Structure 1
Amino acid sequence: MSARRPGAKPLLIALAVIVFGVIAALNIEPVPAPGAPAVAPDRLENLSPAEALAAAEAFYESRPLYERPHPYTPVPEGLPDLRAETCGACHAEIYAEWQLSTHRRAWLDDAQFMEELAKSRGDHNEPGAERHDVSWMCVNCHTPLVNQLEKLVVGLEDGDIAKPIYVDNPVFDAELQLDAITCATCHVQDGVVLGPRGDSEAAPHPVARGDHLLDEENCVRCHQAEALFPEQNLGCFFTTGAEWSESEFAEQQQHCQDCHMPQTERKIAGNYDVPVRKTRHHWFGGSLIPKKPEYEAEIAPLREIFGSGASIYLEGPADDCAGDGCADARVVVLNDKAGHRFPTGDPERHVDVSARVITPDGRELAREALRIGAIFEWWPEIKLKSDNRILPGESLELGLSWEDEAPAGEGPVIVEIEAVKQRMYEEAFDFHELEGRYVRGRHFHRSRWEVAENGQVRLLSIEDDFGARQTLEPQDASTAPE
């Protein structure tokens, strides 16, 4: 989610998450607002806990799925609470993996989101300004359980999404809120713990099978959320789910979990007499940019497991190219691993690829750069200016030319390539004063190549998420997700 950029008026927040091909024509149907709350305004401060929960449930049911928190669930019998630490007492390995995940860091550890959330609540509005609060839509994906929300929405004043009618949440668990996207988000419904099998007789709590855990349903609730609110100059367009559904990955029944939750075999509860079974890791690896600088050491080992989603390599001149417009070599960025666009998610995400051509003694002959991502205009209305993110199985090329700078007979030249994943643009990073509190991006590829005078290309060295080596293929392919 992105909000107001420098220069935007205080009350106009751009929830930036716009996917290209969708926003280009801005042809998304506006989301209709529900009517008045089911509870009379004069009773809002005197609702019983049951009435407050029922009124909130009625409101949320009237909204699109991504604007709803997960419904209230009582604590399963046999457990003291819904907190991840409680789950980790038995599911220790899974708990340790989750602690490294972006899901775990999606609340107070996410400084960018905290800044956006403050603006979406109108915290920075000038004194006396009209109330403007759209934060109730944002929190549902960062603290997804009703039990994690300090206040619940039971209606909107005059149907205005920026004027929610709140009531205190009678089941609010402040410590559970700190867990962000937690175990119970996916695994607890109606007081029952759900698993992919649901057949454990050793569990100290009720269990059942949760088929949604095996497909994309659980993920797209937040990772497929798109809407446009023209009257607010507000948009929310997370379309990773749609990108996946239109790819060969969906046709082949490869779901989000197949890449982001690699399979393993283990006992899911180490202290119990349960069999070793196939299960999945709970790291939920994605860009693997740490949320804070101090999380770098814990995140780094996961990169060799997940990789970057795309392959970057150098090729010689195109076979069908002739004339002055032909490049002497081409940097190719191939989306050969991700089941969605590269990059995906927030439109601030982008990848910067740069390459320079040098002689063996270090004299620079050429330098080029390629930015892969979306560029937006936020004010006075949201407009997509360009977007070149890469579809699954497709590629982008960066041409390099240096013939005019390299006299014939001097032998091969060296091409150095670097690539950086970025969470947000530098302007927004500086505007939010995130330096030291948040990590904007990370290098994920460096390579050196030799290009002979006849155009032949030879890899000299490469360093990426799979390590340092002299071949394109990882040294140990078994570390890649199944």
Structure 2
Amino acid sequence: MFSGKAGLRALLLLLALATLALMLYFGPERAPAPEVPDTLSAEEALAAADAFYKSRPIYERPHPYTPIPEGLPDLRAETCGACHAEIYREWQVSTHRRAWLDDVQFMEELSKSRGEHNPPDAEPHDVSWLCVNCHTPLVNQLEKLVVGLENDDISKPIYVENPVFDPELQLDAITCATCHVRDGVVLGPRGDSPAAPHPVAKGDHLMSEENCVRCHQAEALFPEQTLGCFFTTGQEWEGSAFADQGQHCQDCHMPQTERQIVRGYDVPKRTTRHHWFGGSLIPKKPDYEEEIAPLRQIFGSGATLELLPAQAPACSEGPCPRARVVITNSQAGHRFPTGDPERHADVVARVFDARGQELARQEMRIGAIFEWWPEIKIKSDNRLMPGQSHEMALSWPAQDEAVRVELRADKYRMHQEAYDYHELEGKVERGRTFHSSTWEVSPEGQVRLEVVEDDRGRRHTLAPASEPAVPSPAPAE
């Protein structure tokens, strides 16, 4: 009945219809996988994969296959950069560009998700297909495509070879085409460039959160695999005043600028956006520190720290509350920190007397704490919502002279235990200091800032002296 190429196509059509019917009956997360023929043409493989991915939540899907726009040789960022040179240079230092092989932490997690650390006699286990779609988001970047699951088990994907796999494009990670190419058309915020050497159209998604939350809102729990995804940045933004005021991700992470967006063409300057995509600005590798550092003055750290007098009544004896450290999520339109569930910030305050002897020390960790085994549970979460503050009281014995208070705050991408377990010392930058300051507190409780150094620079006031100049960071070789 299903012999020859025409028969395979007929079978494929029935497969797609069966998948849709099962989705309607069971729901997209419960539909069992249909049988897939052993040999598929390129067209059939893409169609089978497309039918499967459409049955899954959006964060489990790659962007659908797109042909190369007419007039372009390929979809690679370097090709785009031949005309869009400034944007290309900005993208080269972005976390998006570093999201594949340059992300050593992710590579270790990916290896684990493929079961490569399991004993040789262990049952096959591979959940990596869930993860790669956010780090190499285009179907064109995936070496293999998933067309079904054995027994609806997410750890047993049914793969087919990807007939449109571009290994060079895969190295670009989150690249220009991720956001700007659909169905062989280059999308822009205006779509009105008649001189472009390729087809263009307007992409309304480029200026909305829709373009970001596909990956930055990936929340799911798979109890049977003891696996969870806890990327809730989109939901955090949605519940903030930023969303109420119509401020989107791009307003902070892609600062506006006036410039020509292409070279070699007679086009006017226009309002466009930088493509650095500032986030935590912790370099993926120690070698990338030099290229990342200039961006910190532009984006800042999201959170600010300040030492204020204690609110408790003054006391003269014993270690009384004499000052308080206030940590505020003053800039981020989502939690501080956000993203990976291991992201956290450590704040340390130390009090010294006039002779340099430490009188007191207080610490606070800001982050979510999970229990991962034998069952995934969130034990606590004190991350700061936009505008929210935490306070840390400081107490020390009464002094006849002023004391010195030193504050330091560091943000981290992962816990020390995971860092050591994966042997990432020297390969991955675990964190960075984003605030250090020195204060003087008089015996009467008056507080005075001496010096502060943070992402906005070194100064003697908490307010930046002026708006930071926009640098042109050069990508590391």
Q: Deviations over 1:206-263 (max 9, x none)?
A: 0000000011000000000111111111111210000000000000000000000000
For residue 386 of structure 2, what is the aligned residue in structure 1?
392
Q: 1:177 to 1:468 in 2, by over 3 A?
A: same
Q: 1:441 to 1:478 in 2, by over 3 A?
A: closer
1:139-150 mapped onto 2 (5 Å cutoff): 139-150=132-143
For residue 364 of structure 2, what is the aligned residue in structure 1?
370
Q: 1:47 is matched with which residue: 28, 40, 45?
A: 40
For residue 355 of structure 1, what is the aligned residue in structure 2?
349
Shift of 1:33: 3.3
Q: 1:322 to 1:193 in 2, by over 3 A?
A: farther
Shift of 1:464: 0.2
Shift of 1:477: 2.7
Q: Which amino acid aligns with 1:69?
A: P
SS at match of 2:351: strand
Q: 1:102 is matched with which residue: 70, 81, 95?
A: 95
For residue 447 of structure 1, what is the aligned residue in structure 2?
437
Q: 2:173 is matched with which residue: 169, 172, 180?
A: 180
Instruction: Tell me if the contact between 2:319 and 2:395 (Cα under 8 Å) persists in the aligned partners.
Output: no
Q: Which amino acid aligns with 1:206?
A: P
Instruction: Tell me if the contact between 1:261 and 1:282 (Cα under 8 Å) persists in the aligned partners.
Output: yes
Q: Which amino acid aligns with 1:340?
A: H
SS at match of 2:462: coil
SS at match of 1:74: coil
For residue 248 of structure 1, what is the aligned residue in structure 2?
241
Q: TM-score, normalised by structure 2?
A: 0.91
For residue 195 of structure 2, what is the aligned residue in structure 1?
202
Which runs of 5 or more residues in structure 2 are unaligned? 1-26, 472-477
Instruction: Tell me if the contact between 1:154 and 1:165 (Cα under 8 Å) persists in the aligned partners.
Output: yes
For residue 415 of structure 1, what is the aligned residue in structure 2?
405
Shift of 1:141: 0.1
Residue 436 (str. 1) matches residue 441 (str. 2): no
Aligned residues: 444
Instruction: Tell me if the contact between 1:314 and 1:331 (Cα under 8 Å) persists in the aligned partners.
Output: yes
Residue 340 (str. 1) matches residue 334 (str. 2): yes
Instruction: Tell me if the contact between 1:359 and 1:414 (Cα under 8 Å) persists in the aligned partners.
Output: yes
Q: Which amino acid aligns with 2:423?
A: E
Q: Within 1, Cα distance between the matches of 2:341 and 2:175?
A: 25
Instruction: Tell me if the contact between 1:219 and 1:256 (Cα under 8 Å) persists in the aligned partners.
Output: yes
Residue 285 (str. 1) matches residue 278 (str. 2): yes
For residue 32 of structure 1, what is the aligned residue in structure 2?
29
For residue 109 of structure 2, what is the aligned residue in structure 1?
116
For residue 7 of structure 1, what is the aligned residue in structure 2?
none
For residue 77 of structure 1, what is the aligned residue in structure 2?
70
Instruction: Tell me if the contact between 1:33 and 1:160 (Cα under 8 Å) persists in the aligned partners.
Output: no
Q: Deviations over 1:319-351 (max 9, x none)?
A: 678898962101110001000000001110000
Shift of 1:305: 0.3
Q: Within 2, Cα distance between the matches of 1:103 and 1:255?
A: 18
Instruction: Tell me if the contact between 1:306 and 1:480 (Cα under 8 Å) persists in the aligned partners.
Output: no
1:210-359 mapped onto 2 (5 Å cutoff): 210-318=203-311, 327-359=321-353
